[in-house]
Amino acid sequence: MHLKIKAYAKINLSLDILGLRPDGYHELRSLMQSVSLADELLMQPAPELSLAIDNSDLSGGEDNIVIKCLRQLQRETGTDKGAEVALRKIIPLAAGLAGGSADGAAALAGANQLWGLDMSLEELSCAGARVGSDIPFCLRGGAAVVGGRGELLEPLAPLDFWLLLVKPPVSIATAWAYHAFDAAGAPSGQGTERLLSCWRKRDLQGIAGALANDLLPVARAAYPEIGCILDDIAGAGALGASMSGSGPTCFGIMPDRERAISGCHLLAEKYQVYLCRAVRQGIEVIKEDVK
Ligand code: C5P
């Protein structure tokens, strides 16, 4: 069996940090949305685990989240089956888009099929949560309110809209952003509740006006270009703009396809821009050859 799987990036329309947990992680409440920007994984059965990546900035070794997820699955199920994985990396690295978690989620779902494990989404989520906080969301995808450390999901009715993502030429480590938030002693917001009331009314303009991210002040203080990018996204016709996750990627919600395309052309003169749509899944098996 050969599988070709799309692993979709996510953005945080809101990110409330509710406090520090005893395990050192932060208690979150976030409205997350999968977007059409995606990596691609090819998987086939093999005696061992191996990972080839078309990006030399990433290691294909035991420290890669794909291999970590597959090892976790081997441990939890007791299987000694392996897989040959080839990863085509499109989602920018360390960008606040959960690119690594999306790849890990795709690997878990792929191995579940390749190895005939018959595990439920919940079981795969539990295995994934032990490897990375965003993996449970990436497995399910679409739109959801995420709680806990990232493992509690409340799926939402889907909403279709167009977005522009702008990736500044810097990387932000997630752990750094959370530590900076703690050090700043910043109060956390209530962004998710406001956003949810607009989401339930299917009010895209209201959603775009209620975007919120508790990590934005610390990221913008360290990288002032983030503030300029948010202004430029608004100037390119967005209904509203914010930063995703721990950044530095910023996004704008666009009123329609035409204005998303024209805004994309405008921003592309200065920035690395991605034209995207909201999508209804986190991973998608797009080709399956059974031999
Ligand atoms: O789970 P993951 O490896 O994605 O998390 C990366 C880092 O982000 C953690 O080491 C932690 O510092 C921070 N984090 C957090 N609270 C969360 C998720 C992530 O503090 N809920």
Please report, as a single letter, which amino acid is at residue 110. Answer: G
pLDDT at 287: 76
pLDDT tier for residue 22 given thresholds of 50, 70 and 90: very high
What average pLDDT does range 159-172 have in this prediction?
96
Mean pLDDT in residue range 127-138: 97
Q: Is 232 a catalytic residue?
A: no
Using a pLDDT cut of 70, give the percent of the chain over it: 99
- Ligand 1 centre from 15 Cα, in Å? 13
User: Residue 177 C-alpha to ligand 1 middle, in angstroms?
Assistant: 9
- List C-alpha distances in Å: 138 to 119, 150, 157, 239: 16, 10, 16, 26
> CA-CA distance, 82 to 45, in Å (whole number)?
6
DSSP letter at 267 equals H
Residue 63 bears catalytic tag: no
Q: Is the pLDDT of residue 53 over 90?
A: yes
- Rounded to whole angstroms, the maximal C-alpha distance in the chain is 57
- Does residue 122 surpass a pLDDT of 90? yes
What pLDDT band is residue 189 in, cutting at 50, 70 and 90?
confident
Q: Which of 39, 134, 214, 232 is catalytic?
A: 134
Q: How far is the CA of 2 from the centre of ligand 1 (A)?
A: 33
Tens digits of per-residue pLDDT, 196-249?
Answer: 999 999 999 999 999 999 999 999 999 999 999 999 999 999 999 999 999 999
Per-residue confidence (pLDDT) for residue 291, from 0 to 100: 61
Q: What's the alpha-carbon Rg for the chain, to the nearest Å?
A: 19
Six token digits for residue 72: 């976790």
Ligand 1 atom closest to Cα of residue 24: 20
- Inform me whether the pLDDT recorded for 155 exceeds 90: yes
Using a 10 angstrom Cβ sphere, with 0-12 exposed, 13-18 middle and 19 or more buried, the burial of residue 171 is middle
pLDDT of 251-264, one tens digit each?
Answer: 999 999 999 999 99
Whole-model pTM?
Answer: 0.96
Residue 214's contacts (CB-CB under 8 Å, 6 or more residues apart) are 15, 16, 17, 181, 186, 188, 189, 191
Atom of ligand 1 nearest to the CA of 101: 4
Give CA separation, 6 vs 34, 157, 239, 269, 284, in Å. Answer: 12, 22, 28, 29, 5
Average pLDDT, rounded, for the chain: 96
Structure tokens at 286: 């797009």
